[in-house]
Amino acid sequence: MPTPFIPRRTDALIVVDVQNDFCPGGALAVPGGDEVVPVANRLARRFATTILTQDWHPPGHASFASSHPGRAPFDGVDMPYGPQILWPDHCVQATHGAALHAGLDIPMAELVIRKGFHPGIDSYSAFYENDRTTPTGLAGYLRERGFTRVVLVGLATDFCVAFSAEDAVRHGFAAVVVDDGCRAIDLDGSLNAARRRMADAGVTVIGSDAVAQPSLT
């Protein structure tokens, strides 16, 4: 049996980008993306606080391949803030693709962080846009609420989940990724690279079966 992970009141569960476009049939479907939904639903009942995130791009966002004539999805380009992978148009504001997956049953969520809404900057992390300096405000929210540790599930392991976990540590929070509550794109080895970065940052990785009933003390 795994060592029990007991949620505390100073923990926040962050459910990252469980949106239609990242699930099967979506514009940027992550293989098995919808499989994270029951894990997220189950874990949300074991934490006192849950936060959701959404990619929320305006039409014609700079990270879309369609905004770069002659470029194709998954090409790499240099942006003013650094290297950027170009994506299919996805999670466009107020579209079905941007909506949270219908199976997500977390009505008790206390905050929704929308990211990627700046037209010229992509955003993987729940804490920062990809220029690594423009904040979403999540760190301040967590601090003011007195949270000291974040637990992450969602999509995709190797992009938005990993960047969020690393930035949580950067801000002084402990970070835990629930591995079976995430799925990866794994683009050209991106999953192994993300796992190495998270390990180097001190992110803990556990399975959902380790999450015990909470003491919430």
Question: Closest Cα partner for 39 from 210, 214, 216, 215?
Answer: 210
CA dihedral in degrees (60, 63, 67, 70; nearest 10)? -160
Give CB contacts under 8 A, 24+ apart, made by 67-74: 74/187
Q: Which phi-psi region, left, alpha or beta, contains residue 49 (left: φ > 0; alpha: ψ -120 to 50)?
A: beta
pLDDT band at 212 (very low <50, low <70, confident <90, very high): confident
Calculate mean pLDDT across residues 207-211.
96
Element (H or E) spanning 44, and its range? helix 36-44
- What integer best gives the mean pLDDT of the chain? 96
Is residue 209 part of the annotated active site? The answer reads no
What letter does residue 64 receive in the DSSP assignment? Answer: B
pLDDT of the residue at 1: 64
pLDDT of the residue at 88: 98
pLDDT of the residue at 49: 98
CB contact at 8 A, 191 and 157: yes
Is residue 188 part of the annotated active site? The answer reads no
Which residue among the candidates 11, 34, 55, 115 is catalytic per the annotation?
115
The per-residue pLDDT for range 24-42, each reduced to its tens digit, is 999 999 999 999 999 999 9
> What whole-number distance in Å separates Cα of residue 57 and Cα of residue 44?
26
**Angle, CA 184 vertex, CA 104 and CA 131 arms, to 5°:** 95
Which residue among the candidates 11, 17, 34, 89 is catalytic per the annotation?
17
Is residue 17 part of the annotated active site? The answer reads yes
Which residue among the candidates 11, 23, 122, 160 is catalytic per the annotation?
160
Q: What is the pTM of this model?
A: 0.96
